[in-house]
Amino acid sequence: MTLTVAGTPKEYPDGINLTRLIELEKVETPMYVTVALNDAFVESGGFEAAVLKDGDTVEFLYFMGGGR
């Protein structure tokens, strides 16, 4: 199935959930990433249950604390 992750469409195994996608994408701080799935936030407790389907769009939003 095709997912658009961080703006780029790519092929992924059918039926993976957000937890697996986070592993496949090697997200650096998986505990603290904010995930938007098709323009809605998914709570971190809901990653396991969020089974992805063809055409889904996923964004990872990362904490960036610097500024000085």
Which residues of this chain interact with other proteins, rule CB under 8 A? 6-7, 29, 31-32, 34, 36, 39-41, 59, 61-68
* Smallest distance from other proteins to CB 39, Å: 5
* Smallest distance from other proteins to CB 14, Å: 26
* Smallest distance from other proteins to CB 3, Å: 15
Selection from 15, 12, 7, 24 nearest residue 61 by Cα: 7
Nearer to other proteins among residue 13 and residue 31 (C-beta): 31
Selection from 15, 19, 9 nearest residue 42 by Cα: 19
